Structure 1
Amino acid sequence: MQDPNADTEWNDILRRKGILPPKETPQEDEEEEEQLLHQQLSVVKTYESMTLEELEENEDEFNDEDELAMEMYRQKRLAEWKANQIKNVFGEVTEISAQDYVQEVNKAGDGIWVVLHLYKQGIPLCSLINQHLSELARKFPQTKFLKSISNTCIPNYPDRNLPTLFVYYEGEMKAQFIGPLVFGGMNLKCDELEWRLSESGAVKTELEENPRKQIQDQLMTSIRCSEPKHRDSDEDSDED
């Protein structure tokens, strides 16, 4: 009887036709493969926990395959690091002058959103918005938040237009919010400003709906509940 595991050309043909089952892997080969896999996983685990500097220091300890895997992993870590650096490059509201405008706004860079607040000291709503922007700058460090005293940035800029927010993307203006009425006055909440900026694209909010809408809905409900019931009064007078 012919051994189905024998290394013969006929048996190879029968295996390709599906007549014979695949050749059994000797137990020793399985153990070697398992040991090799364990070694590879061990190497990966070793350099996954390393910093870029540690990877460079231990380059000589890897063979050719390990060095290839290590280089791929290094590039991955480097890309993640660069993305993280870009993402967290800001984080605060920076004061600029007219001389800084072109560099900080028009040449902000690819993929960069800029929020510029034109303000004036002594205007309460401007101070409130600066407070909100400081909080939003920490929350959204990938967006560049700037502020500038209005008439130093734009000569003769009218006070009636303050506060003013300009939103730019890659140096091009995408939105503008001008004057106290746009912001709703001193009742402006930080999450309401966050929502307005998210509508322009400057920040990616996790808010599901406009917070101002909730306040408006509550106000309308309150008004409806307080309205006099004229219909009932009219019916009573008719009966009399």
Structure 2
Amino acid sequence: MALNPNEDTEWNDILRAKGILPPKEGPTEDELFEAHDQAVREAQEKHLSDKELDELDELEDEEDEEILRHYREQRIREMQAFAARAQFGELVQISEPDYKKQVTEASKEVWVVVHLFRDGIPACKLVNAHLAQLARKYPTVKFVKIISVECIHNYPDRNLPTLLVYGHGDMQQQLVGLGQWGGMATRVSDLEAYLERCGALPDHPDPSYSASKAEGSDDEVVQSSRRTYHDSDSDYD
């Protein structure tokens, strides 16, 4: 077999080190330019991969038009595919006669998160605000609330708020109270992490969801529920 001095082999490296073969020629100028262009393209793709549609529009004058069009179309396809699967998107109140159909039966097809609540309990008001935000973020998950004593007769208020997580046609997890997160200090991210551990949330939220806008719309409810709690607590001081 003829020896190819340009091959990258261990034997050729030994021969070059001993001066038997001449040093391997470096890349040509064209090859260097191509490598540079490839690196630029990869950097652009990484930079654009996490952009929203409106951000891509703003970058149109700054980035290569073809790359922008590619990512805009890809983003639209992702949003359309997600919209086809999204059936819900809000926290809905149900009653006892609806429970079997809206929760048990529905959970055979999708994950269902049930909040047992009572009006006038600040922690329940707080959880309702947090779940309303998560319902918008994860519209493929069904979020419902039901007055506790309608769901379970004589259910004690001391156990509220209570979350029941349904999947595969049966209850998978339950959460009683908010003690593990400091009660009224509970954040929406705490409930989100809990539901993720339960397996109830998809890997990716709604691509059109804006956390900053959602948080702004719920801040007033959250702050109001916390003020109500502190006011009622001070009555006992």
TM-score (norm 2): 0.50
Structure number with greater CO (CA < 8 Å, separation at least 6) is: 2
Whichever of the two has the greater Rg, that structure is 1
